[in-house]
Amino acid sequence: MATAADQIRHRIELISLDRAREEIASGTKLIDVRERTEWDESHIEGAEHVPQGDLVERIDELAPDRSERLLLHCRTDNRSVRMADELERLGYDNVAAVEGGIVAWEAAGLPTRSDSGLTADQRMRYSRHTLLAEVGVEGQLKMLNAKVLLLGAGGLGAPSALYLAAAGIGTLGIVDDDVVDASNLQRQVIHSTERIGISKATSARITIEALNPDVEVIEHNLRLDASNILELISEYDVIVDGADNFPTRYLLNDAAVRLRKAVVSASILGFDGQISTFAPYEGPCYRCLYPVPPPPELAPSCGANGVLGVMAGVMGLLQANEVIKLVAGIGEPLVGRLLLYESLGTRFTELKVKRDPQCPICGEDAAEITAEEIGRFPDYELFCGAPAREASPSAVQHVA
């Protein structure tokens, strides 16, 4: 026996998606009778939004001419059929409902818009982020609009870049002019065996593009030095430092303090890592923590000493975690704190780092660094405790 709803359904004209599209294109009014939250999540461009509870009250103003052609739609078509029936009772005689509603519309791959700013694909992709109250759509949009620069696509940069890309950081700049080597693959998970010999920045871009089309990767195949660092970092919101030499770290620090850019800095060796976030003038800078670099025998590189690949991954992901918090404006970044990780003992140690009033870069008496001083101040030759020799071809070619 037919129910009342069935009987109404038989009386109302239901039109196909194709027909609906034609009519919408030719100017027929489409009314979405769903609730506000449904509309915000996604809707058909050009539709009028009138929740079903308001429709009878507002229809005179929307369509004073009762012979006007009107299309109604909802999530499937139950509400739209019911509301079409209501309108017919009011004397509207040319009303149809779109069969299947927006569910069918989206299933057919037809475009929708969202007032939240996320596309339907993005709502799906980032749903596990947006479900988190602390992140939500707002936090996700901040990530999609963020520009993050990674110094190096190596032991730290590779895992960091991979997760930042997955998280939907909209622009990732990668500075690295090294090429993928077989010995990198034990930890630099963004690269692959078949890409041995190609540029690390390019290899990272290929992986990121396959992972998340929302992310734009900018390859910086340049020498990072005092002449270009200001211009380079000025384009970005947050810098991820995975450089493996002191000159680059001090150079970055000086430039970042000047431009007030936050730097998420980590370093790794053997089984141990350390990480901190340097937010200029809000907390200490790298020079407050390390006023002078150690001599070479106390600053071995991972190439000489070895490094546990997984430990590099842990530190790289802690960096990515810091970036997400800074970008979304949530949680407590590691500002004024240095976190040490010993992977053999699985121990974390947190140390306090204070701003140094005597810091030559961000201290009370520090004058703003001039462009000429960036990269020279106070004296980079002393960094390795040896007199200056022939300059390395590029500091950043040795990045992470």
Q: Which residues between 105 and 164 bind another protein (CB under 8 A)?
A: 151-152, 154-157
3-state SS, the chain, equals: CCCHHHHHHHHCEEECHHHHHHHHHCCCEEEECCCHHHHHHCECCCCEECCHHHHHHHHHHHCCCCCCCEEEECCCCHHHHHHHHHHHHCCCCCEEEECCHHHHHHHCCCCCECCCCCCHHHHHHCHHHHCCCCCHHHHHHHHHHCEEEEECCCCCHHHHHHHHHHHCCCEEEEECCCECCHHHCCCCCCCCHHHCCCEHHHHHHHHHHHHCCCCEEEEECCCCCCCCHHHHHHCCCEEEECCCCHHHHHHHHHHHHHHCCEEEEEEEEECEEEEEEECECCECCHHHHCCCCCCHHHCCCHHHHCECHHHHHHHHHHHHHHHHHHHHCCCCCCECEEEEEECCCCEEEEEECCCCCCCCCCCCCCCCCCCCCCCCCCCHHHHHCCCCCCCCCCCHHHCC
Size of the site for another protein (CB under 8 A): 80
Which residue of 246, 278, 341, 377 would you call a contact of another protein, by CB under 8 A? 246
Site string for another protein, 57-86 (x = CB under 8 A): ------------------------------
Which residue of 31, 104, 118, 384 would you call a contact of another protein, by CB under 8 A? 384
226 binds another protein (CB under 8 A): yes
Nearer to another protein, 53 or 197 (CB): 197
296 binds another protein (CB under 8 A): yes
Which residue of 90, 108, 310, 388 would you call a contact of another protein, by CB under 8 A? 388
Which residue of 170, 283, 293, 333 would you call a contact of another protein, by CB under 8 A? 293
The burial class, CB within 10 Å (0-12 / 13-18 / 19+), for 262 is buried
Q: Which of residues 312-331 bind another protein (CB under 8 A)?
A: 312
Nearer to another protein, 260 or 347 (CB): 347
Which residue of 299, 317, 335, 366 would you call a contact of another protein, by CB under 8 A? 299
289 binds another protein (CB under 8 A): yes
At its nearest, how many Å lie between another protein and the CB of residue 245? Answer: 5
Please check whether residue 112 is in contact with residue 106, taking contact to mean a CB–CB distance below 8 angstroms: yes
At its nearest, how many Å lie between another protein and the CB of residue 400? Answer: 3
Which residue of 249, 258, 261, 325 would you call a contact of another protein, by CB under 8 A? 249
At its nearest, how many Å lie between another protein and the CB of residue 148? Answer: 16
Which residue of 193, 304, 364, 368 would you call a contact of another protein, by CB under 8 A? 304
Nearer to another protein, 7 or 221 (CB): 221
At its nearest, how many Å lie between another protein and the CB of residue 164? Answer: 16
Q: Which of residues 170-209 bind another protein (CB under 8 A)?
A: 178, 184, 187-188
At its nearest, how many Å lie between another protein and the CB of residue 30? Answer: 55
β 147-151/238-241 pair status: parallel
At its nearest, how many Å lie between another protein and the CB of residue 136? Answer: 33
Which residue of 161, 268, 324, 328 would you call a contact of another protein, by CB under 8 A? 268
Q: Which of residues 333-372 bind another protein (CB under 8 A)?
A: 338, 340, 342, 344-345, 349-354, 356
Interatomic CA distance for residues 174 and 220, integer angstroms: 6
Which residue of 139, 247, 280, 360 would you call a contact of another protein, by CB under 8 A? 247
